[in-house]
Amino acid sequence: MRTVMRLMMSALVLSGVTVWAQQASSCQLEEKVLARAQALGQAQAAPPQDLDAAKEALAQCQARQAKLAQVRAHQSAIEAQIEDLRKKYSDSYPDIVANGKKLAELRAQEEALTRGLRRGPDPQTSLKQATGGLQTGLPDRWWKNAATAQSLGLTADQQKKMDDTFQQSRLKLIDLNAALEKEEVTLEPLVAAEPLDESKVTAQIDRVAQARAELEKANGRMLLGIRKQLTPEQWTKLSQISR
């Protein structure tokens, strides 16, 4: 699935607008995950390590951005040097060849850093932070697995209630996922348009972010409903199993 960060980074390549690039490449998703983790931490609904992980994810994103800015600045300087040299010499001139190699290395670094920003935080990690550590890391409907159910000591009533919660949330999650896809698809032509309409793009980015937030909240509520069916002992054992 396309992510907000991936689409924003695509816009940077398409637009070449430096000022807007600095704004659009901000670590919005990491910042939102951190805000949720802080809120959950204040409510004592999430362990301290979730907040630490969110802070680390944001710090890593900001470090990648800073490095990317340095690489792009260096790249621009090399490109300018090459253009100046080409006014006097052919492409086989040693300094042009050497600068060409440096430029290729910088572009490879830029691509690697850009891929890192496009990926953003790991989806399961982000969801775990956003839902206060409710993500189990187990497959969907894990409670239907005979070995897992036996290991946890799940009763038939618990399994039924978990299944009911899952089924009740399923259609809404499908609809919300489709809504997110729709907003992302709407964003694509806006970031590819020439001239770039920044106000339309930023407004659509907000709609994408809102759609993603609604999907995360619905998924978190479903996970919470399933979590509520477990005893403290079962939850502890499940956490150990899913590590």
Tokens of 185: 């698809």
Tokens of 228: 């509520």
| Digit-coded pLDDT (tens) for 134-186 | 554 455 688 888 888 888 899 999 999 999 998 888 888 889 988 988 988 88
| Digit-coded pLDDT (tens) for 174-232 | 899 889 889 888 888 888 788 888 888 888 888 988 999 998 899 889 989 999 999 99
Q: Domains of the chain: which residue ranges?
A: 1-123, 134-243
Distances (CA, A) of 161 to 76, 151, 158, 236, 239: 60, 18, 5, 19, 20
- Gap between the Cα atoms of 41 and 46, Å rounded: 5
Cβ-contact 27, 54 below 8 angstroms? no
Of these ranges, 34-48, 97-111, 216-230, the one predicted with the greatest mean pLDDT is: 216-230
* Closest listed residue to residue 129, CA positions, set 30, 3, 59: 30
Cβ-contact 144, 163 below 8 angstroms? yes
Which parts of 193-229 fold into alpha helices (H)? Answer: 198-227
Q: What is the pLDDT of residue 117?
A: 62
Cβ-contact 187, 201 below 8 angstroms? yes
pLDDT band at 44 (very low <50, low <70, confident <90, very high): low
Tokens of 222: 């479903």
Tokens of 230: 């477990």
DSSP 66-84: HHHHHHHHHHHHHHHHHHH
pTM score of the predicted model: 0.46
Tokens of 203: 């407004």
**134-243 is classed in which CATH architecture?**
Up-down Bundle (1.20)
- Gap between the Cα atoms of 62 and 3, Å rounded: 18
Q: What is the pLDDT of residue 14?
A: 31
